[in-house]
Amino acid sequence: AQSVTQLDSQVPVFEEAPVELRCNYSSSVSVYLFWYVQYPNQGLQLLLKYLSGSTLVESINGFEAEFNKSQTSFHLRKPSVHISDTAEYFCAVTPSGNTPLVFGKGTRLSVIA
Amino acid sequence: DGGITQSPKYLFRKEGQNVTLSCEQNLNHDAMYWYRQDPGQGLRLIYYSQIVNDFQKGDIAEGYSVSREKKESFPLTVTSAQKNPTAFYLCASSIEAGGYNEQFFGPGTRLTVL
């Protein structure tokens, strides 16, 4: 069975500083990996995903994540955060096929002015 | 606009009562999902449906029931058998079954048991 570990439950960071949100997964098969973002009192939105190909994937708002198979990680990074990035971020994994996503417990990113 | 709607946004219920949460989508998606979100617990899958008239239990199905009579609708009933129902409930859909497909989420329903 797959599982996802988000190592930090809360990450405070000053505006314009870099940030990394860590995600590790466990699976014995090839996986698809996702980051979703949840703004306060809203549903989740897809931020970026890795299905195959280049191990570095990017979102339209400056986030990127790198799939590292040897370390079973999919850490999310942004070189310079904005106040508007304050949200909860969820890493999720699924193996190939019709298996539903398994979500991590989330990391709450708080950007401080 | 295409999307997923959940109603009501806030719901209060007395202990021992059943309550039904609505989820409707106009995205023409085959697959639909119900999640429960508790602080610090992430999202846990309650039920999912890959196609009309078919659904499967997720990780925490006890105390919940669903139906999928129409493609666009996937209501969730929280029964009196659910011992701790106070939570934020999220509905999602994807174009077809398979976790690799992007899931689109509704705005959620916050259920409080009084």
The whole-angstrom distance between A1's CA and the closest CA on chain B is: 12
pLDDT tens, chain B, 114 aa long: 669 999 999 999 998 899 999 999 999 999 999 999 998 889 999 999 999 999 999 999 999 999 999 999 999 999 988 889 999 999 999 998 877 788 999 999 999 998
Buried b (16+ CB within 10 A) or exposed e, A76-113: bebeebeeebbbbbbbbbbbeebbbbbbbbbbbbebee
How many interchain CB pairs under 8 A, A with B? 61
Q: What is the pLDDT of residue A54?
A: 86
Q: What is the pLDDT of residue A97?
A: 66
Mean pLDDT in chain A? 92
Instruction: Map residue A85 onto helix, strand or coil.
Output: helix
Average pLDDT over residues A60-87: 94
The nearest alpha carbon in chain A to B9 belongs to A41
- The shortest CB-CB distance from A97 to any of B33, B35, B98 is to B98
Q: What is the pLDDT of residues A31-54, one digit of tens each?
A: 899 999 999 888 899 999 998 888
Q: What is the pLDDT of residue B61?
A: 96
The residue whose two tokens read 């617990």 is B41
Q: What is the pLDDT of residue B1?
A: 63
Q: What is the pLDDT of residue B63?
A: 95
Cβ pair B85, B111 in contact under 8 A: yes
Q: Is it the case that residue A96 has pLDDT exceeding 70? A: no
Task: Tell me the chain A residues in contact with residue B102 when contact means C-beta distances shorter than 8 Å.
Answer: 46, 49
Q: What is the pLDDT of residues A12-29, one digit of tens each?
A: 999 999 999 999 998 777
The whole-angstrom distance between B90's CA and the closest CA on chain A is: 7
Interface check B105 vs A, CB under 8 A:
yes
Return the H-helix or E-strand segment holding B103. Answer: none
